[in-house]
Structure 1
Amino acid sequence: MSEDATEDDTIRCWLVERTYTDRGLVDMTYATPDGSHVRRKQVSTTIMRQRGSGTTAAVDVARSDLDPVDDEETQERYAAEAERMREEHDPEEEV
């Protein structure tokens, strides 16, 4: 089992993209270390402020909640960004 896999069939995914929309939303993309799968989240910036929650460098995601990344170039870009995040941030660190 890799260091990013846990016993309860989840895998640690790292923040690889964050986009702010003109509707007050934040689109976040978390990818597996190899960039082959992602979990996308969309959160209201208002709700984030009200809850006092930020964006963490990583989240643990159930494998069943991951979507495949079909484009090889995107997979490579996500893998490189996931590696950079792993090297520079603790998983729970707000980024």
Structure 2
Amino acid sequence: MEQRLWLVERAYDDKGLISLVYATTDGSTVRRIERAPIAVERSGGVTAAVDADAEALEPVDDDDLRERYAAEATRMAERHDPGEAV
């Protein structure tokens, strides 16, 4: 079963990779994706949401982080279409 996740965090590491975190609107689970900038450019950019199989998701154990992810995922869902580049 697929779940929709919304972009809640974007960071750049010292190797130049882009780290993306997508979360469910309740903040309880996430999917982390690392991509090279050229791959992001070729794919048309970072989208507001992705769909992922439940087996590919990681639980969020930290209460504060879960609340922050829930707030950001909800905000993204209210303001953006899933396939919109952000």
TM-score class normalised by the smaller sequence: over 0.9
Report the Cα distance in structure 1 between the residues aligned to 2:45 and 2:67, rounded to whole angstroms: 26
Identity %: 53
For the residue of structure 2 that corresponds to 1:18, the secondary structure is: strand
Structure 2: where are the runs of 5+ without partners?
none
Structure 1: where are the runs of 5+ without partners?
1-8
Q: What count of residue pairs does the alignment treat as equivalent?
A: 86
1:24/1:46 contact within 8 Å kept: no
Q: Which residue of 2 aligns with 1:23?
A: 15
Q: Which residue of 2 aligns with 1:47?
A: 39
Q: Which residue of 2 aligns with 1:5?
A: none
Runs of 4+ off more than 4 Å: none
Q: Which residue of 1 aligns with 2:65?
A: 74
Greater relative CO, 1 or 2 (CA 8 Å, sep 6+): 2
Deviations 1:70-89 (A, max 9, x none): 00110000000001001110
Report the Cα distance in structure 2 between the residues aligned to 1:77 and 1:36, rounded to whole angstroms: 10
CA RMSD of aligned residues (A): 0.9
Query: Which one has the largest radius of gyration?
Result: 1
